[in-house]
Chain A
Amino acid sequence: MGDFSRVETVEAAKQNHEYTQALTDLLFQLADDDFILAYRGSEWLGLAPHIEEDVAFSSMSQDMMGHAVMFYEMLEQLGVGKADDLAQLRAADAFRNAILVERKNGEGDYNNDPHYDWAYAIVRSYVYGLHKQVRLEALLQSSYVPLTLVSRKMLTEHRYHLMHWQVWLKQLANSTPEARQRLEAAIEKVWKDAGELSQLGPNADSIARYGLIAAEDELKQKWLTLAQENFEKVGLVWPGEPGVPAERGRHGQHTAELVQALATLSEVYRIDPAASW
């Protein structure tokens, strides 16, 4: 069985099938979360409330996409498949992202009559960002050493992203009645899904047992404590325990909105996946 408390390399990880399986499942959750939300961010391009924000938002989506690429490449190194294929050729039921990240930005298509909801963009990015911060910090202690290294790298970028969304939250919470109302409606919507973020899916037990990341409850308590502190600080009503969506994203159950997103993001690649692009 061997000691899996500190796994330095891909080869070492592959010594144990159960370990590899747990690691693979976790990496898909990490990669798919960042990938799909970065895609949603890229749909906002050119539509943000002002040009400065367009530049900032786009830069953060790009960083997030970069993080997804790092996770997909780790999967590639584990022999799961080519990173581009993993990102673009899997069916929706092979995706392990939380439902929160796949929800569309609002009504309409990104290129055809979009009516996007900026309040939802802020709250989703903030909640996701806060959870991601907690998750990356937990990954610093992961038994899989390559994962600790990429997490450290991502954290340096991610702190600025989170700060950005915190500023937005504070500003909108203390501005006009309309903004406040929109913000509260967005919080309510995000809260219906947010409880799923810290779930680790069907392999949760072995993911925790192998010390790949902290247990679900610990992750959940950490981000909720931080969120509650911040909500109080900016003067927002604490919405309490977050809910979970009907679909279980970590188990491969998804909405039609993900199916649509995957069709769009892989449209060109699917013309000929064997070709060089």
Chain B
Amino acid sequence: MQTQLERSNLTENEKMEAFLARIDRGEKIEADDWMPDDYRNQLIKLISMHGISEIMGALPEKEWVPKAPTLRRKLAIMAKVQDEMGHGQLLLRVAEDLLAPLGKTREDLMQDLFAKRLKFHNVFHMEAPTWADAGVIGWLVDGAAIITQSMSLDTSYAPYARALHRICAEEKFHAQHGESIVLELAEGTEEQRKMLQEAITRWWPSLLMFFGPPENGTITSNQSTNMRYKIRTQTNEELRQAFLKKYLPRIFHLGFTVPDDTIYFDEAKDQWVYQQPDWEAFKEIVKGNGPRSAHRLNLRETSYTETKWVRDAIMAYGRHVG
């Protein structure tokens, strides 16, 4: 309590200096600690987007859960998508603690989602028309997510770091789940291999976009704020390169291709040189104008609206017994 009182006597500038000194020392920030507004706002933006992406991310796979081809696959994909929802729940709780001092709740996040103010990852706006898409989502989309999330494991905000540690451990199983579906198709019939190649081709631009536009030497103010506060430590391009290095050799090894005739690995620069996806299209997709955006938002909004009576009932029951 003493330190709290002392802190409250500090000027805003002094609080900020003390906060930055903590960040520089590698200390972790807890939910109840003093933090500058822009730190809080960046975290809210990042974590609520991450959380809602997990939840919206369950929807493309949801399409395949009831259709999974064998009993084992049915069990595995049910477990996997349940995990994703669980991650969403975990992250929304972290976001809720950050939102509380602003007088906002999960309900606000849901309404922001429906109004397209709260964005979710580009990949979850895309179509998943075959079983192979479910495999590619598990293998490559989750693989990409592991790369970005692993970077944030050491984030300065302790509750986010704790959530990420749990999430990353589970994501590794998901990537194995996806890889297992993909390998089965890759070693399968002509029709199965064709289905898989089409899915890889379909997902390629979205996978490149997943990490965000390249910086080309200039990083955005958002990114520099996040890096100054040690919320994140790597740039979009560094993450994308890590992904390409890990997965392109595997895709090629299985005898599949990506829709990029000129892609090559530049040994001297130690990086993949690839054709840029359409970044204008990316902007439209994350704004909520992707091929499946309206469908999935509608699915979520309809079910949310139609079950309002249930949430009201739970509140009423709480008052009744409480």
Q: How far is the CA of A62 from the CA of B83 in the complex (A)?
A: 12
Closest Cβ neighbor of B79 among chain A residues: A62
Partner of B67, one of A171, A264, A275: A264
Quick one: which of A45, A66, A68, A271 has the most chain B CB within 10 A? Answer: A45
Closest Cβ neighbor of B308 among chain A residues: A49
Pairwise interchain contact A113-B75, C-beta atoms closer than 8 A = no
Pairwise interchain contact B313-A175, C-beta atoms closer than 8 A = yes
Pairwise interchain contact B70-A84, C-beta atoms closer than 8 A = yes
Partner of A272, one of B85, B191, B302, B321: B191
Partner of A182, one of B67, B79, B184, B309: B309
Pairwise interchain contact B316-A175, C-beta atoms closer than 8 A = yes
Pairwise interchain contact A55-B86, C-beta atoms closer than 8 A = yes
Using Cβ atoms and an 8 Å threshold, which residues of chain B touch A163? none
Bin chain A's interface residue count: 35 or more
Q: How far is the CA of A171 from the CA of B309 in the complex (A)?
A: 13
Contact with B along A214-240 (1 / 0, CB 8 A): 000000000000000000000000000
Pairwise interchain contact B62-A45, C-beta atoms closer than 8 A = yes
Beyond A175-B314, A175-B316, A179-B310, whether A45 also contacts B81 by CB under 8 A is yes
> From residue A242, how far is it (CB to closest CB) to chain B in Å?
25
> From residue B81, how far is it (CB to closest CB) to chain A in Å?
6
**Residue A156 CB within 8 A of the other chain:** no
Using Cβ atoms and an 8 Å threshold, which residues of chain B touch A50? 307, 310-311
Beyond A65-B74, A84-B70, A115-B302, whether A49 also contacts B65 by CB under 8 A is no
A2-19 contacts to B, CB under 8 A, are none
A226-274 contacts to B, CB under 8 A, are 264-265, 267-269, 271-272
**Residue B25 CB within 8 A of the other chain:** no
Beyond A50-B311, A55-B86, whether A269 also contacts B78 by CB under 8 A is no
Ordered by A's residue number, 8 sampled pairs between the chains whose C-beta atoms are within 8 Å are: A45-B82, A46-B300, A50-B311, A113-B302, A114-B303, A175-B316, A176-B312, A277-B184
